[in-house]
């Protein structure tokens, strides 16, 4: 890829400009390379996007001392910019991202799409907020990449709204599946026990949700509705586990295997207004939300954002899905995590940082030591069940901590 192909796009950048960048699996590696080759182009520019932890690792604010970023996630690779106040973290539920983007004004929206068809651009691998951003931008540029899968979108981009087209033929961001470890495999067995034939399934990103999907190949007539697809969905389709129904998703985060699947599958790529709206989700009977976490405390509160006091992610869609699954007829919300990591218990007495899911949204918590169904459990009963999910070497300390907490109430 010759960076000169991007000169027309880079020439638009000016100090003070606000630029929306298509992120997630649709982040353009070619654009990153062009900016890295001419970092002075980023001087004074604010880059806005939904830059996902574990997916997007390029620090646009790090290109120039006066560049900035805005996102609802804080990937660790942007830590230096975050610490110097050049990364503006906006804590929002994923269901709110469309409204957030529609409240903004952009000088430029840069989208990464396959070649147009019939006067429309598909949004490729990520339809979450891209169209909303294009509608709020003074100018819209499309990096046209024939390697990007054409996917069916509920809201494609009309080509008449595009001001600049750039040849972006090049590799796509690829995220091969993490095949996990023994603990993830055991956790996945416990989670899979709660998933029945004909359920509507949502899974998040990460090792454990992927392991769970691999355990569901013997199920039949499963439907998928969520914010993302991963490589393991291809295994489900090949095994005959999926119903002959449209898959609803916001994006596809995976390897070439998933990209090829996205081209051919009966999948509808939708905005966050459709994929994450709890009011829509709660109308799905038998909706099962499966997400991971960093910590769960003895009240049933979930931390999915902080490690050792540092913001490393965002709340994402987990609380949207959890609440909807509790409200849905026969719905189930499952939070799965290892009992410990690096010698520290991930079942903790009380979460110290922000709470990603409140105790009122708690339903089913799973570790490799079993599952606790705490939706209707009282304070003491849920604490007892959660202590039993901890690694054995941490249980006595957790029990003592609970007695101290309980005495203070």
SS3 65: coil
| Phi/psi at 166 (5° precision) | -125, 135
Q: How far is CA 396 from CA 236, 350, 403, in A?
A: 41, 15, 11
User: Tens of pLDDT along 332-367?
Assistant: 999 999 999 999 999 999 998 899 999 999 999 999
User: Tens of pLDDT along 1-14?
Assistant: 455 678 999 999 99
Give the domain ranges of the chain.
3-167, 182-408
Contacts of 109 (CB under 8 A, 6+ apart): 19, 20, 130, 133, 134, 136, 137, 139, 140, 141
Indicate whether 323 pLDDT > 50: yes
Fold (CATH) for 182-408: Glutaconate Coenzyme A-transferase (3.40.1080)
Largest Cα–Cα separation, the chain: 68
Q: Are the folds of 3-167 and 182-408 the same?
A: yes
Indicate whether 205 pLDDT > 90: no
Say if domain 3-167 classifies as CATH 3.40.50.300: no
Put simply, whether the predicted model's pTM sits higher than 0.85 gets the answer yes
User: Tens of pLDDT along 126-141?
Assistant: 999 999 999 999 999 9
């Amino acid at each position: 890829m010759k960076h000169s192909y991007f000169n027309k796009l880079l020439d638009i950048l000016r100090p003070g400009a606000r630029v929306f960048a298509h992120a997630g699996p649709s982040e353009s590696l070619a654009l990153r390379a062009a900016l890295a080759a001419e970092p002075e182009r980023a001087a004074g520019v604010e880059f806005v996007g939904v830059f996902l932890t574990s997916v997007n690792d390029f620090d646009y604010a790090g290109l120039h001392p006066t560049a900035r970023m805005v996102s609802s996630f804080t990937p660790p690779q942007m830590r230096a910019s975050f610490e110097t106040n050049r990364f503006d973290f906006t804590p929002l539920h994923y269901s709110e991202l469309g409204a957030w983007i529609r409240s903004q004004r952009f000088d430029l929206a840069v989208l990464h799409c396959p070649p147009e068809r019939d006067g429309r651009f598909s949004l490729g691998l990520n339809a979450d907020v891209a169209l909303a951003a294009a509608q709020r931008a003074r100018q819209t540029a499309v990096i046209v990449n024939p390697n990007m899968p054409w996917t069916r979108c509920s809201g494609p981009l009309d080509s008449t709204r595009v001001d600049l087209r750039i040849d972006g033929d090049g590799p796509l961001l690829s995220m091969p599946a993490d095949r996990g470890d023994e603990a993830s495999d055991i956790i996945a067995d416990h989670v899979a026990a709660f998933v029945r034939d004909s359920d509507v399934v949502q899974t998040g990103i990460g090792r454990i949700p992927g392991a769970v999907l691999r355990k569901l190949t013997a199920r039949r007539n499963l439907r998928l509705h969520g914010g993302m697809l991963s490589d393991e969905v291809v295994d489900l389709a090949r095994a005959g586990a999926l119903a002959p129904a449209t898959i609803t998703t916001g994006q596809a985060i995976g390897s070439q295997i998933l990209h090829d699947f996205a081209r051919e599958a009966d999948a509808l790529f939708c905005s966050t207004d459709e994929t994450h709206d709890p009011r829509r989700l709660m109308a799905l009977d038998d909706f099962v939300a499966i997400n991971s976490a960093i910590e769960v405390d003895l009240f049933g509160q979930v931390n999915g954002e902080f490690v050792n006091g540092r913001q490393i992610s965002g709340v994402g869609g987990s609380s949207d899905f959890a609440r909807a699954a509790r409200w849905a007829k026969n719905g189930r919300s499952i939070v799965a995590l290892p009992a410990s990591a690096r010698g520290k218990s991930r079942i903790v007495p009380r979460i110290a940082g922000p709470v990603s899911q409140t105790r009122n949204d708690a339903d089913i918590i799973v570790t490799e030591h079993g599952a606790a169904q705490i939706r209707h459990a009282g304070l003491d009963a849920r604490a007892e069940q959660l202590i039993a999910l901890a690694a054995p070497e941490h249980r006595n300390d957790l029990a003592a901590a609970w007695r101290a907490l309980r005495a203070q109430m």
